[in-house]
């Protein structure tokens, strides 16, 4: 079993709408569990709820869209996901997800609330799609392993990934951001576990914040994140591109697109981040 599958594994909770799991330090970025991993865990729970529903017959096994609001930072330790089926339709099944962890007094503290729809992406035709960005092959890109050890010490999540950034968008690591608001890279799980539609939701939020390329090295917490999964990804490398056009009022958007190894657009997202124009690298 891959470390990703092991980390995202859920146990039955009390009743059909609850499942439990445990976040470990391995999936932390800075002082919190990576938000993309939190979303994947929530999606996993809703997918299992749907699969167990007799009316559903598991025909909607692919997450198609998820909107997540982050209320408090997730910490290593046990978590509970509560799911609620809202509508099981012909094309999509939609439900709500609430992920919580026990607070210091044992009372549940909600980390993330989300709404998500599942569908079936087994056969997807293409009428029009955006082309993957032009970038050097992975072996000519900058591996996150090349980052300074003191940077990586706080970024255990990066050890789970094989991430190779396009040198043209990695200048921020040397104190020279392009100021274009673009970061591109190749991504796969370090343990070679192949991507699937749930993992894509995590991959949309796995790269360093695009704010880095604008010289903004402070914390940019995700306030809201919506991801669209458009296809089941082929095995192999994913190509991820981030961009941001609008920064102001203490907020910015971060748009992400992912193409699979065949060059097909497989996922997209837009998130609203808080921006604190302070120093420090607490991504």
Contact positions vs a second copy (CB under 8 A): 64-65, 67, 69, 71-72, 86-87, 89, 91-92, 94, 96, 110, 113-115, 117, 121, 123-130, 181, 214, 223-224, 226, 228, 230-231, 244-253, 265, 268, 270, 272, 274-275, 277
130/146 with CB nearer a second copy: 130
76 and 29 in contact (C-beta within 8 Å)?
no
CB of 42 to a second copy, least distance (A): 13
- Give the DSSP H/E element, type plus range, for residue 50: helix 35-52
d(CA 30, CA 47): 28
CB atoms closer than 10 angstroms to residue 277: 11
Residue whose token pair is 């096994």: 61
Which of residues 101 and 268 has its CB atom nearest to a second copy in the complex?
A: 268
Q: Which is nearer to a second copy, 156 or 230 (CB)?
A: 230
> Which CB sits closer to a second copy, 126 or 279?
126
DSSP state letter for 122:
S
Whether the Cβ atoms of residue 276 and residue 250 lie closer than 8 Å to each other: yes
Closer residue to a second copy, CB minimum distance, 155 or 203: 203
* 7 in Cβ contact with 66 (< 8 Å): no
How many angstroms separate the CA atoms of 40 and 155, rounded?
18
């Amino acid at each position: 079993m891959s470390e990703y599958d092991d980390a995202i594994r859920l146990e039955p909770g009390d009743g059909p709408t609850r499942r439990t799991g445990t976040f470990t330090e391995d999936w932390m970025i800075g002082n919190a569990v990576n938000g993309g991993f939190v979303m994947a865990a929530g999606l996993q729970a809703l997918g299992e709820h749907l699969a167990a529903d007799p009316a559903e017959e598991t025909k909607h096994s692919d997450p198609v869209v998820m909107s997540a609001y982050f209320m408090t930072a997730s910490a290593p330790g046990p978590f509970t996901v509560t799911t609620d089926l809202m509508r099981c339709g012909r094309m999509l099944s939609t439900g709500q997800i609430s992920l919580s962890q026990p607070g210091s007094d044992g009372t549940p503290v909600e980390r993330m609330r989300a709404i998500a729809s599942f569908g079936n992406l087994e056969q997807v035709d293409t009428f029009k799609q955006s082309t993957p960005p032009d970038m050097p092959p992975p072996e000519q890109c900058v591996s996150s392993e090349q980052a300074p050890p003191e940077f990586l010490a706080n970024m255990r999540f990066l050890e789970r990934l094989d991430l190779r950034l396009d040198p043209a968008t990695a200048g921020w690591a040397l104190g020279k951001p392009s100021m274009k608001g673009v970061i591109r890279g190749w991504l796969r799980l370090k343990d070679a576990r192949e991507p699937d539609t749930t993992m894509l939701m995590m991959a949309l939020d796995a790269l360093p914040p695009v704010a880095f390329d604008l010289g903004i090295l402070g914390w940019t917490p995700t306030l809201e994140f919506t991801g669209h999964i458009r296809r089941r990804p082929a095995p192999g490398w994913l190509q991820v591109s981030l961009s941001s056009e609008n920064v102001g009022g203490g907020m910015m958007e971060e748009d992400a697109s992912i193409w699979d190894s065949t060059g097909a657009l497989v996922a997209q997202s837009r998130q609203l981040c808080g921006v604190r124009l302070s120093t420090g690298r607490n991504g």
